[in-house]
A and B are shown apart, each in its own frame.
Chain A
Amino acid sequence: GQNIDQPTEMTATEGAIVQINCTYQTSGFNGLFWYQQHAGEAPTFLSYNVLDGLEEKGRFSSFLSRSKGYSYLLLKELQMKDSASYLCAVTDSNYQLIWGAGTKLIIKP
């Protein structure tokens, strides 16, 4: 079966750095997405990786290793507004998105 694993919950301190991991086992791979979802709101797009390596976008970076079936989202200089759930999703060989359950990130002052 297809599976995406991410930690259920993480806690970090304002101003610090946090890494949210995502491992996947899917039938084929056509890209990996990270979305941010604040409580009670819709998910919003953060990043897309299709090739191995690091993609940097401001305070957020996303890394992909296709051979390891692994990605991480790195958040730097954490702010209170970064408290949210972070969803990892993989596009499989049929171009269907498979979603992880999400990681709830709690930022403490």
Chain B
Amino acid sequence: IAGITQAPTSQILAAGRRMTLRCTQDMRHNAMYWYRQDLGLGLRLIHYSNTAGTTGKGEVPDGYSVSRANTDDFPLTLASAVPSQTSVYFCASSAQGGNGELFFGEGSRLTVL
């Protein structure tokens, strides 16, 4: 049973470096999401994709970009990492979009120094 796989699980990164967090799902879900989770704050949506070939901006998109070339993969790229991007990043997918249960990956803990 795979579900959603994220990589890497943890990474320390120097400020200014480019970083791509990978996310792959095997459930054939149309909708996919990237969230960041910071202590004391709720999950905040970075970017989303309702179906392959389309993406949209969430609540906190600045400094991040995504692509959705196919149904299974939804990578998140930090073009030039900054310390404020230190966070835990969760990828999620849903069969029914905003009204459906979200399935989360195990998370990627990113530290930007």
Of listed A30, A35, A43, A98, residue having the most chain B CB within 10 A: A43
Q: Pick out which of these stretches binds chain A: B14-22, B64-72, B77-85, B102-110.
A: B102-110
Q: Quote the shortest CB–CB distance from B48 to chain A (angstroms).
A: 8
Do A95 and B98 contact each other (CB < 8 Å), given the known contacts A42-B105, A42-B107, A43-B104? yes
CA distance in complex: A62, B106 (Å): 25
- Size of chain B's interface in residues, with CB distance under 8 A? 18
Q: Is the CB of B42 within 8 A of A30?
A: no
How many residues on A have C-beta within 8 angstroms of the other chain's C-beta atoms? 24
Q: How would residues 25 to 57 of chain B score, 1 for a CB under 8 Å from any chain A CB and 0 otherwise?
A: 000000000000000111111000000000000
Partner-B contacts on A (CB < 8 A): 4, 30-31, 33, 35, 41-45, 48, 50, 87, 89, 91, 94-102
A45 near B101 with CB under 8 A, answer yes
Per the bound structure, the CA–CA distance linking A33 and B98 in Å amounts to 11
Would you call the interface of chain B mostly helix, strand, loop, or mixed?
loop
With contacts A30-B98, A31-B99, A44-B104 known, is A101 near B40, CB below 8 A? yes
B23 to chain A, nearest CB (A): 12
Task: Choose among B43, B101, B106 the residue with the greatest number of A CB atoms under 10 Å from its CB.
Answer: B43
List 7 A-B pairs, minimum CB-CB distance, nearest first. A95-B98, A99-B42, A42-B104, A99-B43, A45-B101, A101-B42, A91-B98
Task: Give Cα distance in the complex from A94 to B97, angstroms.
Answer: 11
Whether the pair B40, A97 counts as a contact (CB closer than 8 A) is no
**Quick check: A30 and B99 within 8 Å, CB to CB?**
yes
Q: Which B residues are CB-close (under 8 A) to A48?
A: 101
Q: A87-B43, A96-B45, A101-B41 are in contact. Are A42 and B90 (CB under 8 A)?
A: yes
**Nearest chain A CB to B49 CB, angstrom units:** 13
